[in-house]
Copies of this chain bind each other. A is one copy, B any other.
Amino acid sequence: MNLKNDLILRAARGESIERYPVWLMRQAGRILPEYRAVRSQLSGFKELVETPERAAEVTIQPVDLLDVDAAIIFSDILVVPEAMGLEYQMIEQKGPWFEQTIRSEEHLKFADANIDIDDRLGYVLEAIRITNKELNGRVPLIGFAGAPWTIFCYMVEGRGSKTFSESRKLLYTNSALAHELLGRITDVTIRYLKAQVKAGAHMLQLFDSWAGILGTEQYAEFGLKYISKIVDAIDEVPLTVFSKGAITSVEAIAKTNCNTVGLDWNMDVVAIRNLIGESRTLQGNLDPCALYASEKEVERQTVKMLDSFTSKRHIVNLGHGVYPDIDPEKVKTFIKTVKNYELRY
C-alpha cells in the first residue's frame, strides 16, 4: 500500500523532508473524549487492548481528530510478559499488578521464550492489520514493544515502583539469572516486532521507561546490550529507541544501529545534537506540561523548541506521553505550530 504521508519515515532515515513530522506518545488515549466513549463501553483497559476492532478504532482517532503524522498501535508493553507466562491485571489508579514474579531460577517456567507469537499475541497483529486497512495509507503506523530492561523490571518487581529495588537487587545477587531472563525477553521481542512489521507496522519504537534508574555501566550491560540485539535484528523498518532518563547513555544509544533516539523533556536538544552529530534522528521533546499553558504560550514554547533544532533529522513529539488532563485544543495548537514552521535545513 502506498503511503500518502511518509514524512516520519523519511525523517527517521535522514532523507529530505518538507517539514518536521509530528505525533504524540499516548495520543490514542484519555485526552480524547472519543477515546473515553469507546473505553466506557468495555470492561477495562485490557479488554480494549485485546479487542482488535476497538484497538484499531482508538488508534485511528488521533489521526482523524488531531491530524498527527503517524498512528501508533493502541496496546501495552506488558502484553509481552503476559504472553511469556506472567498474567497481569491493570488496576484502576494503581497500574499493573502481576501475581507471580521472577526472582529465582524456578520461576523461569513463567518466562517462556518458546511461544508462538501468532497464538499469544495475534490480537495485536490483527489490530495492526485492521488499522492499516482503515487508515488506507493516510499515515504510517508505528508498532512498539517495551525494551528488555523495562519488561524485566515488571517481571521481577511485579508492579510499578519508584526505585525498582527488587529488580536492581537481582543484578547484584544473581546476574546470571538476570541475563537469562533478559535474553529470553529479547528473543520474544525480536519475533514480536518482526510479526508487527509483517502485519503492517511501518516503523517501530522500543520504550525503555526505567532506563534512568541504572548507572551508565549497568545500563550498558543489562539494558543497551539487549536493545542492540533487537536493533541489529530488525532491518525491515526504521526503529526508535526511547530510553527514558538515560541521559548519560544517549551517546551509546546513538551508536547502536537505531534510526532515531527519543529524548525526555528534560534533555537538552542542542547539547545532545552536539554530542551525537548528524548520524541519527532525534525525537521529542517539548515538556508535556507546556500544553497546560495558554494557546499563545504553547505556540511560543513550540517555536522555541523548533528554533533550537540545527538539523532536519528531527521527529517532533513531547518529551513524555501527553498527560490525560490536557485540553485537546492545546494539542492541536502544538501540532499546527509544528506543521506551519518553515524548515531551515
Which residues of A approach B to under 8 Å, CB–CB? Answer: 162-163, 165, 168-169, 171-173, 212-216, 218, 245, 247-248, 265-268, 271, 287-290, 292-294, 297, 301, 320, 323
Contacts and interface: CB of A to CB of B under 8 A. Distances in A.
Given A163-B320, A173-B292, 16 more contacts: A162-B162, A165-B288, A168-B289, A171-B289, A172-B293, A172-B297, A212-B245, A213-B266, A215-B265, A215-B268, A216-B266, A216-B268, A247-B247, A248-B267, A248-B268, A248-B271
A324 to B, nearest CB: 9
Nearest to A217: B268
A113 to B, nearest CB: 26
Contacts of A169: 289, 292
A35 to B, nearest CB: 19
A130 to B, nearest CB: 32
Given A172-B297, A248-B271, A214 B165 contact: no
Nearest to A265: B215
A214 B245 CA distance: 12
A4 to B, nearest CB: 35
Contacts of A266: 212-216, 248
Contacts of A320: 163
Contact of A173 (B213, B293, B323): B293
A126 to B, nearest CB: 32
Contacts of A297: 172
Contact of A287 (B173, B215, B289, B292): B215
A195 to B, nearest CB: 32
Contacts of A214: 266
9 contacts: A163-B320, A163-B323, A169-B289, A171-B289, A173-B294, A214-B266, A215-B265, A215-B287, A247-B248
A341 B294 CA distance: 57
Nearest to A272: B248
Contacts of A323: 163, 165
Given A215-B268, A266-B214, A266-B216, A289 B172 contact: yes
Contacts of A248: 247, 266-268, 271
| Most central of A172, A213, A218, A271 by chain B CB within 10 Å | A172
A288 B218 CA distance: 13
A297 B169 CA distance: 12
Nearest to A319: B215
Contacts of A218: 287
Contacts of A265: 215
A165 B289 contact: yes
Query: Lowest 8 A-B CB distances belong to which pairs?
Result: A172-B293, A168-B289, A169-B292, A215-B266, A247-B247, A172-B292, A165-B323, A169-B289
A233 B141 CA distance: 56
Contacts of A168: 287, 289
A301 B218 CA distance: 12
Contacts of A173: 292-294
A104 to B, nearest CB: 14
Nearest to A216: B268
